[in-house]
Every structure is written in structure tokens, then in C-alpha cells.
Amino acid sequence: MMELASPLMQNLRRSSVWFVASVLVLVASSIGLSRFLESEMPTVSRALDPFNVDPLIAEITSDLNDANGPPDLNVLLAKARGALRFNLADARLYSLIGEIKYQQGEKDEAYVLFDQARKLSKTEIHALQRSISRNIEAGDLPKAVGEIDILLRRWPDQFSAIAPGIPAILSSPDGYQAVLTALEAEAPWRASVFDLLGKDPGGLDLANRLLLDLKASSAPPNSRELSGVISGYIRQKEYESAYQLFLFSLSDQERKLGGYIFNGTFEPMPSGRPFDWQLRDQSGLEITFATSDNAVEGEGGATVRFLNTPVKSTALEQYIELPPGSYKISLVASARNLKLPKDLFWSIRCVDPPGEIARFNIPEGTYNRRKLSQDFSVDPALCPLQLLRLQSAAIAESWRFRYVGTLIMHKLSIERNPS
């Protein structure tokens, strides 16, 4: 009998192993399918894997955010509490229950739950957002800014959610100091603050103040931050504020390049800020800045190489601010086999109202350090800001008009004529 039983027992063991393995495969498949469906079909996902809390959280969150009709908060509360029995360490569930309680008007209990969520996870997103709002309402702005820093370090895409409150925080002395301290520590959301304030007419002066305070810190303003705020002032037609901020931003070395035209000798240190040279990508030519020490053939300045193709529009410009009066624009330039089928010229245009007030043509040919100049005037009332631009007269990129050769501009300057 023992001999007959042995094969039978072996078969039973094999069947049991096969059954257990099949069950494990089915469970694994259900879990995998549950994970796959949790974002699109959370109810189905939860049915496949009751222990997968993610689809339940997604389902409750979706119901709370449903704009088509108010959800049954008691039903959602029962679901969330049911899941909490098996997921006591999941901060998201405490946060969801807190939000349901908040919407039911039980705010004190809601904030206890939000605090519990924060104890389990300092970066739980919803609890953080509610805590930030509570501290702003309570006037504890330093604490709110500290929580904003935590939120944005973990969830940088959430800046738009807190952006509307930034100007109000900065308007308070405590809030301003807290934000300044975070920016001095180079918080990763620093650039977003300046982008926000630079696009907000009401935020420009706050941005300007931050830039002034940061200049003396260990993390001074960078060109991008300065450019954003200067450009914001220009968009708002606050031209004097824009120009004063540009002057403030100059380093001691940059101040040596000052004048009606900034860096008129084309030193190779353009910052990209308005009122400094803006180099724009342009097909058909190349522009390089060089000092006389490292320039080709020892000729410093801006070298423009034309590539035997059409050239349309402009590749070099800067804003200037000329008081009303009479002026002379002068250029010292060299050229090598320069062929210009359409005019190449410096123009000076009023920004507001738009219109050209001077055009200074560059001659063709080959020449060395030729001095060129032209007089012009700025109207006493109609031109508070100007744009200096190198451009061609071509209006279409026709291959009949191909620009060839090299232009080297050693020095470009504007001087006021004697009265």
C-alpha cells in the first residue's frame, strides 16, 4: 500500500504546487492589471486588487474635484476611512479625510488630520497646500514661506498654484523678509518668482526691490532675472525705471563701457540685458565680438561675416535712452570685399511711438578703419526710448540679393552736438 500511495502523494503534491503557483500568477496578474488601470479606471482597478489604495485615492480625489455636481461627502468619507484601516501609514488618506472634513465645515478636525499627514510625510502635497493657506490667513507668513519652499522643492510644477499669493506675501514686511531669505539661499523657485513679478505690472517694483537687496548678498541677481524685470518695465512703458535698473545692474568693469551706446567697442562680454547688445540668430551671417588682443588680424570689435546668402532683418541691437537734443552717430569700420546688394545700415528708431529717426548706411568695398558719421536729433516730447539696430534693407530672402564679405566695426558711438 505504501508503494501505491507514494505516486499518489507525489501527484497530489504536484497538483498543490501547481495550484498555488497558478493562484500566485493570478494574483500577480490582477495586481499588475490593477496598477495598469488605476489612473483610467480606478473602480475596476480597486476591484482587481482591494489592497491597492492608489485607485481609491484617485477615485475620491476625482469625485472631490468633480465640477458637475457636489459629491456625497459621507460616502467618500466611509471609503477613505475603510482604506485607512489597512493603510495606517499612508499620509494621503489622512489628507483626503481632512479635505472631506474641511468641505463638511469641520475645519478644526480637518487641520488635525492635515497635521497628521504632514507628520507621516513632510511633502504630502494637499496637506501642505492647506497648511500654507491657513498660515497666510493667520498672518504667519514666515511659516507659510517655509512651507512654500518645502512644497516647491518636492513639487516644482505647483508654482502656478501658489503664484497668486506671492505679491501679497511680499507686500508684508515679514513675508518679504522670508522670501528674500529663501532667494538668498538660492531656492529652486527663485527664477519663477522673478518671472512672475516681471510679467505683473503690480509686481515690478517688488521685483526691483528684491534685486536691490540681493545685489549685496552672496547670491546677487543674474542676467536672466535682471533682463526679465527690465523688459517688464519696458512693456509697461516705464522707460526711466528700466534704464535705471540697467545702470544699477552694471558691475565695476561694465561701468567702464558706459555711454549713450553701451559697449560701443564691442567687448566680448554681452550680457543679453536690454540696453546691452542683443545678438539674435540670423541665417546668412555670423557675428563675433573680440578684443584687439584675440581678434583676427589684430582688429578688435564686432566682426560680421556674410555667407554669400540673402540676409533679411537684423541680428544686432540694443535699447538706448537719449534725452531730447541734437546728436552725431559715428562708426569706425573696416571691410574686406564687402558686397551689399541691398543697403546695410544702423537705424535709430523711437520705441514709443514707433518710427525711424535716423539711418546710417555702411558702404561696400574694402577699406581700413574708415570713419563715418551722421547727425540726427531726438524730439523733445515724442521719443523717450530708442532702439539702435543693425539691419538690411532686404524685405524678402531672394537669392538674387546675396551678401558677401566681412565687416569689422571697431567702434560705434553717439555724442551730443554742441548747443
pTM for the structure as a whole = 0.77
Tens digits of residue pLDDT in 263-305: 999 999 888 899 999 988 777 889 999 875 554 445 679 999 9
pLDDT beyond 60 at 43: no
pLDDT digits (tens, 9 = 90+) for 147-202: 999 999 999 999 999 999 999 999 999 999 999 999 999 999 999 999 999 999 99
pLDDT reported for residue 97: 82
Total domains, the chain: 1
Higher pLDDT, 38 or 159: 159
Look at residue 410 and tell me if it is in a domain.
yes
Any domain includes 392: yes
Q: Does residue 241 register a pLDDT over 90? A: yes
pLDDT for the residue numbered 51: 52
Residue 74 in any domain: the answer is: no
Mean pLDDT over 366-378 rounds to: 95
Q: Domain range spanning residue 379?
A: 278-416
- Output the pLDDT for position 205: 95
Give the cell for residue 335. 571691410
Higher per-residue pLDDT: 204 or 66 = 204
Task: Check whether 222 has a pLDDT greater than 90.
Answer: yes
Q: Is residue 240 part of a domain?
A: no
Percentage of the chain lying above the pLDDT 70 cut: 84
Measured between alpha carbons, how far is 190 from 213 in angstroms, rounded to an integer? 14
> Is 264 domain-assigned?
no
Name the 3-class secondary structure at 219. Answer: coil
**Residue-level pLDDT at 17:** 41
User: Could you give the CA distance from residue 65 to residue 369 in angstroms, rounded to a whole number?
Assistant: 70
Report yes or no on 290 lying in a domain.
yes
What integer pLDDT is reported at residue 105 of this predicted model? 83
CB atoms within 10 A of CB 311: 25
* Cell, residue 265: 567697442
Cell of 369: 578703419
Confidence of residue 69 (pLDDT cuts 50, 70, 90): confident
Q: Are 307 and 347 in contact (CB under 8 A)?
A: no
Distance between CA atoms of residues 54 and 186, nearest Å: 35
Residues 264, 412 contacting (CB under 8 angstroms):
yes
For residue 30, is pLDDT > 60?
no
> What is the per-residue pLDDT for 362?
95
Torsion of CA 40, 42, 46, 48, to 10 degrees: -30
DSSP state of 237: T
Of the spans 101-115, 238-252, 396-410, which averages the highest pLDDT? 238-252
Residue 86: is its pLDDT beyond 60? yes
Contact call for residues 402 and 308 (beta carbons, < 8 A): yes
**At residue 396, does pLDDT exceed 90?**
no
Omega before 353 within 30 of 0, i.e. cis? yes
- Determine the average pLDDT of the residues in 10-19: 48
Q: Is the pLDDT of residue 102 over 90?
A: no
Secondary structure (3-state) at 304: strand
CATH of the domain at 343: 2.60.120.260
Confidence of residue 110 (pLDDT cuts 50, 70, 90): confident
Beta bridge partners of 319: 387
Residue 2 has pLDDT above 80, yes or no: no
- Asked if residue 334 is part of any domain, the answer here is yes
DSSP-assigned letters across all residues of 160-189: HHHGGGHHHHHTSHHHHHHHHHHHHTT-TT
Q: What's the pLDDT at 7? A: 53
Cell numbers linked to 17: 504546487
- Given a cut of 90, is residue 227 above it in pLDDT? yes
Nine-digit cell string for 319: 535699447
pLDDT band at 12 (very low <50, low <70, confident <90, very high): very low
Higher pLDDT, 405 or 67: 405
Give the DSSP letter string of 131-150: HHHHHHHHT-HHHHHHHHHH
Q: Which residues contact 236 (CB under 8 A, 6 or more apart)?
A: 201, 204
Instruction: Categorise residue 325: left if φ over 0, alpha if ψ from -120 to 50, beta otherwise.
Output: left
Q: Is 381 exposed, middle or buried (0-12, 13-18, 19+ CB in 10 A)?
A: exposed
Q: Is residue 173 part of a domain?
A: no
Question: How far is the C-alpha of 416 from the C-alpha of 213, rounded, in Å?
Answer: 35
